[in-house]
Structure 1
């Protein structure tokens, strides 16, 4: 389908439908909703006009209310603004549902980048087919759901969205009308801050309603098309889970919470199995299978509704009975209904008795504190002292003897130390109930040295684990630009450490390394962060090949390009021969979960895209994917120049003050969206290093300035032009998938920026000059991106995505004007305490709609 055709279909299937279905809101039997819906178009147009004239938000709001005699009182105005926010929130849901319902029709299912195109190539090329099948035996895609604070849709709303999608597909106007009524009465916000367990329950909705069904469907398609036995490809699609296990900077995650989450995941899975089994039992009513059906009935029912205190892994028993049923069907009943048994076998092979691997994560400083504590308490028993552990890195490494003990803490120990000791014990019982895949990874945040990994390994051996039974993978997380530059030195030390090398061998010589995009972008800017990670991958791959290590890169990506998001599958498809790509692992977080994996269609599409990217990057690489020495030098020079410009901005005395004063950063900590604090070390004044990357990026996106997604790129490109390197940069954009995707994602980030909204700030006495610095770089970057791509507008090559972005930005523009007006009213100091609290709530409410509409803003 040509670009112009796609655009026409999008306008017909999405934009026109949205205009039509919006009118259904006006027919809802809620008087206040009808009144708000009638006035909203006028308010939206007024906001658009005011922004185009660069008016301050208070002038836009006041001049609008000046047209209506009934809105003289402040409380009446605020009441209408709250209702406008609520109305727009629901418009965003409607747009999401309409867009997702048209997902396949619009043409996002582009076969040039999907599994179908790969299957076609394989059918006509036996050697390629053999290559793909061989790759599938040792290939996997792991999606890890995290509990980062930007998943704003509560479970009931997610259910409504999915029902709306199906009703819209069927043009069922009556049902759509009923669902909009339900939506009108369903709250979008939590009255109380969620606990980590609450977050786990919320995300489990996706496991049960989307991933459980999609994973087996994709596996079935591959089995059918490539004729690969299911037993040969057991873990093609894997799931990971952070809620309840990710303790980094979140004191609300407890051992009891971790235990509850692990138990909940197992119970939900068995209920999924039980629902499927009921269909198996309903269809297979033949002789010869009674015993096996009875066995499965007991297994599934008891584990679903009568959970025992100390459950065990029942996977082998389940598979044994299912295989027996399959054999009876094939032998005596002509294979009747064997496909529904095979479907359940695929699911059990994929999810076992655990559903998703529960990852554990903690900051290296906390882990060091626990190691030092136990060394101090048990100094007489151990061959290591606190003094040795607090000296040089060399001293720490020599001090760790990896002795096996069962140590405990004293009652007065630091709560964080207690948690680490207890959770190390708990992992054993989680593995017992669901196999080691239930909880097999411990991620070390802020990993700076080899002793951070070795120290954690020692903690496990002090926690009652045996070396020969240490079924754990220790995963370093390198995030900052400096840490990324030292990553290969850290890993070389580990690979040459006898104790660690022995452990790695026991784990199949597979090493997982996590690389964080979010903090590296906050630390060094967009270009430098992406180049630092790419370069680190090359270095780490070379090292792994030297030591015969099966390397797995686990990418900590957020939704927007500033946090590693954007067209993620294109990054993986463009990994050259210097980067290991045998496994694709990445975090899925925030509203990106609902936007990319919220429905069966979108989830299948996005998972297939990642599978295709991983397979094609190895079996059919493009010539330009492996960078030449000159290309690396060019990108390195661009990254260095961009980094210089970004650091100049970061060191500006108004940098953090601007963000803290004019964006809703402070409001992020007061709205009930996450169990995790907005910043680390919340007991001290805000510092950039304490501010979580997700809050940092979200705040810039609420300002519609998206600084982390582009700042410094324009300066770097200008530098290249002035230093006779432009032809090299143009060549990179045309031949390197990595660089092309990097630039295109930057364009996406800029398309979601709108400096007209804050143009009034250029005359501000305090922040005016700082705003001009930001705006000048935006203008420069836009100019050079268009020149580089030969396009007439940003995202010109992606007209459907561009139209979607622009429509969403139009929907939420009133929310931004309301938000910025409320912030400025509070800053004016003219409000009493009660009024100020009302406006703070108003700010909080606007954040929801803006992030949800953006789909990958945070």
Structure 2
């Protein structure tokens, strides 16, 4: 045995040796491209969409993981005991020091096994006569309904559910004039009125409720409707959290419960009362409040960090309260039930590690015969430690995470799973699926971060910041004067640089220093809370591919992306926002230029081959009118999805819809169904702005309805993608719509280009007064005192016309365009009527305008 050297100066940490072993394995050509044969065991498919299992043979076992993006492409459904061959890369998971196979492809074990299975199925179906010519039917040109042919166990539907992603994103756009005190008063009135509909209400109870209602109304008469002071960003954050606290914490678990109830009704249940189809937690709420700094100088890096911690506090408070309820109700005695072995092992582990901190003095023996209550007490203590850390951060005092605290939401969720599975193991499924399951749904949907915070900034800020940074790094290169091709080449070189890049913040101006501080804060919070704390970095007014690469360079400077000497990595999802009509028309060319850039393509590949693209409804409508806006958005979606498929990239479209029709508003269900065929694919992300938060999410009842309608629309719109069939509308419809949109845009641009029209807007609408209202922290104009169409933001533009009862952005240009089409086109009216009946896009457009 070799003796350790007495003269070795330094020793390696566990992290050092794990990192060293990972780098050795990652550089090995065989381990980077290997097929391994074995039998599946310990199969786990959590709601995240990832798949975990062990591949074993008679003498050894290997841990395996399939990330969500690869899992969605599997040609077969994995089952324990199945013999397979798995392809992928073997590397080491540094945190646990265990090597595992990262699988990207799977096939049945043995030469031709999959083909033989297919041929057996084909022969059986042929014997049943299902392929006979007499059974063939011609497909209609315009199918009215599309169904999914699936197995009795709903395997195809399960595939569809596994890829669902429903993500409403709250914004603080200044269109909500109500104070939070007024909204809370209206909520109390709603609850009283709801009680008054009870058929069992007696006369005395009725009079008491009427008195309560009168009192609430009297208080509201004496309450200021409007704010006396301008909102700060932190006030807007609190307003956003009001809807989470008062509504979503109740509505989201209910939405899953109703979904599961519907599946049980249609697919039945097994002997244990479980449906053959499981519903993953696919609802993810996001927020721009505290992250959207485009045109809002008050959203600083400090404010963003405060927002993250304030959201964490809200989530942890709710989880602690619910665990407290579990501690009160799960009073099972060890004399009357036997918890599962994994649960007892975890409880023993906690007793040894945290017992003295949680149970002190005479409390040592508390719940000694009630294992679930004792576990709940442990979990509460751990959540309290997390809360203590968050409180220190909010108080802006030196803070550290106690050993007792949960490392992340996944660790807390693991305890909840153990608790649930243990209850089920001794016949208490009905208990496990009540309050405990509701809490599990909340943690799966909200984590510790609560709302995924998107960051948004305008592209010119990044351009000026990058120019200032490159002035230090590459003083001979004039970035501002450089052509687009030169910019992309230089940005790619710096992003791919392996050596450290040092920037002197003191030499930067205030704007560049703050822009870089945002990225540093993002890196810090991702390390502290987890990658899910932030959603997307949105670049408004994206006009060129370099605008995206600029953000990647700033992310590279703080370690969020780049090349570590062995492989590319990327921990930031960047979304270009195409807002104007011109940008929408150029979006495909811009993205194609990006995906053709080797550095950017490598970064996308390292992040799971996913790209998010945001489409702006408000500014495109202000720019070209409602017809041009809707048509160019429709065309842009088709071209973007076609492009990303050609490059082998999964694309999620982010719809920047406003509340009013002039800013892309309308019923969520119809809006999702009206999207171009093949562009939804199980995923939808959209903004919920200003006053729409109140209308949709102020009550759990309305929030439940809104989520249900939205998810239903998502399922319907995704059915064709699941069935691998394409819905194509007649080319005549597309050609006619192109001509109608062009005519509408011509009429709209002629109006807004009329000399003196902008002056008329300012004089005939209360837009100046709207800018003085205390309804938001964001200025109404991009440039102060600039009375131009380019300076005024889309919200006050639409708001001003609405308050003067013009509502011009929602309709101008449509009447003349439709009339012109009817006059020019033979049977024009009949064609429009057919388009309205058969084309959801056209029907939704006209219905919203009406």
Please report the TM-score for the alignment, with normalisation by the length of structure 2: 0.70
- How far, CA to CA, are the matches of 2:619 and 2:382 in structure 1? 45
1:672-691 alignment, distance < 5 Å:
672-682=774-784, 684-691=785-792
Unpaired runs of at least 5, structure 1? 1-120, 748-858
CA distance in 2, matches of 1:194, 1:508: 40
Quick one: structure 1 residues 676 and 454, their matched pair in 2 at CA, closer, same or farther if it must change by over 3 Å? same
Q: CA RMSD in A?
A: 2.4
Q: Secondary structure at the match of 2:478?
A: helix
2:546 and 2:783 map into 1 onto residues whose CA distance is 24
Within-5 A mapping of 1:571-650: 571-619=671-719, 626-650=728-752
Q: Report the counterpart of residue 735 of structure 1 in structure 2.
A: 838
Aligned residue among 213, 218, 241 for 1:176: 213
Q: What are the equivalent positions in structure 2 for 1:201-220 lying under 5 Å apart? A: 201-220=238-257
Matches within 5 A, 1:406-555: 406-411=501-506, 413-467=508-562, 468-555=568-655
Match of 2:292 in 1: 246
Deviation at 1:419, TM superposition (A): 1.4
**Corresponding residue to 1:141 among 146, 166, 173:** 166
More helix by share: 1
SS of 1:362's partner is strand
Q: Is the 8 A contact 1:295 1:321 kept in 2?
A: no
Q: 1:542-580: CA deviations, max 9, x gaps?
A: 111111211101000001111110123212113343434
Q: Give the conservation status (yes or no) of the 8 Å contact 2:634–2:675.
A: no
The 1:624/1:187 distance shift into structure 2, 3 A limit, reads farther
Q: Work out whether residues 274 and 300 of structure 1, in 8 Å CA contact, stay in contact via their aligned partners in 2.
A: yes
SS in 2 for 1:170: helix
Whether the 8 Å contact between 1:447 and 1:478 is mirrored in structure 2 is: yes
Q: Which has the higher contact order (CA 8 A, sep 6+)?
A: 1
TM-score, length basis structure 1: 0.69
User: In the alignment, what sits opposite 1:199?
Assistant: 236
* CA shift in 2, pair 1:232/1:545, >3 Å: farther
**Quick check: which one's strand share is greater?**
2
Match of 1:278 in 2: 324
Q: Tell me, in whole angstroms, the C-alpha distance in 1 between the residues paired with 2:374 and 2:744.
A: 68
Change (3 A) 1:421 1:620: closer
1:466 Cα deviation after fit: 4.4
Measured in 2, the distance between the counterparts of 1:214 and 1:445 equals: 32
Structure-2 separation of matches of 1:528 and 1:603: 32
1:718 paired with 2:819, answer yes
Matching of residue 299 in structure 1 with residue 401 in structure 2: no
Q: 1:257 aligns with which of 303, 316, 323?
A: 303
For the pair 1:165 / 2:190, whether they are aligned, the reply is yes
Q: Which residue of structure 2 lines up, in the alignment, with residue 825 of structure 1? A: none
Flag the 1:716–1:224 CA change in 2: closer, same or farther, 3 A.
Answer: same
1:336, distance to aligned residue in structure 2 (A): 5.6
How many angstroms does 1:620 deviate by? Answer: 6.1
Shift of 1:231: 11
Paired position in structure 2 for 1:762: none
The Cα of 1:125 is off from its aligned counterpart by: 6.9
* Residues 496/620 of structure 1: CA separation in 2 closer, same or farther (3 Å cut): closer
- C-alpha distance 704-513 of structure 1, shift in aligned 2 (>3 A): same
Does residue 154 of the first structure (1) align with residue 179 of the second (2)?
Answer: yes
The structure number with the bigger radius of gyration is 2
Structure 1 SS opposite 2:716:
helix
Q: For each residue in 1:735-770, what CA deviation from the matched residue of structure 2 results, as whole angstroms up to 9, or x when unmatched?
A: 1111011001011xxxxxxxxxxxxxxxxxxxxxxx
Matches within 5 A, 1:761-840: none
Aligned match of 1:28: none
- Shift in Å, 1:310: 4.8
CA distance, structure 1, for counterparts of residue 244 and residue 501 of structure 2 = 36
Alpha-carbon offset, residue 163 of structure 1:
1.5
Distance 1:626 1:160, change over 3 A: farther
Render the CA deviation track for 1:360-397: whole Å, top value 9, x for unaligned: 000000011111100002226xxxx5424531111111
Distance 1:128 1:587 in 2: 35
Q: How far off is 1:181 after superposition?
A: 2.4
For 2:790 and 2:542, the matched residues in 1 are separated by: 15
